[in-house]
Amino acid sequence: NAGVMQNPRHLVRRRGQEARLRCSPMKGHSHVYWYRQLPEEGLKFMVYLQKENIIDESGMPKERFSAEFPKEGPSILRIQQVVRGDSAAYFCASSPSTGDSNQPQHFGDGTRLSIL
């Protein structure tokens, strides 16, 4: 059973370009979470999605960042007009849909985004 798959593992962009990060949840999981981690820091919640719906985006910056989880295909975290401060590791996690909060989250290997 494949785990959470994220790609690319490493992404380099120049300031002003767009970054697209992809996440395929574990088989049978319909909940996807995106986190951002700066070096030597903890995980900061960004957004929680279910298929075709954004459930909680309270951690997403109001501008330049967007996320989607379409009916078909992976979840996408999109960062437009990247700036140096966007450099970080972005982790995706998934959990099964059981209707309660008592589910562990399974993490992907992350995408290390570097902005030149």
Partner 1 sequence: GQQVMQIPQYQHVQEGEDFTTYCNSSTTLSNIQWYKQRPGGHPVFLIQLVKSGEVKKQKRLTFQFGEAKKNSSLHITATQTTDVGTYFCAGSNFGNEKLTFGTGTRLTIIP
Q: Token pair for residue 61?
A: 């910056």
Q: Measured between alpha carbons, how far is 99 from 3 in angstroms, rounded to an integer? A: 21
Q: Measured between alpha carbons, how far is 97 from 12 in angstroms, rounded to an integer? A: 34
**Considering beta carbons, is residue 1 or 14 the nearer one to partner 1?**
1
**Considering beta carbons, is residue 14 or 53 the nearer one to partner 1?**
53
Which strand (E) or helix (H) includes residue 94? strand 88-96
Task: Output the smallest distance, CB 80 to partner 1, in A.
Answer: 24
Footprint of partner 1 (CB under 8 A): 31, 33, 35, 40-45, 48, 55-56, 58, 91, 93, 95, 100-110
Task: Output the smallest distance, CB 94 to partner 1, in A.
Answer: 12
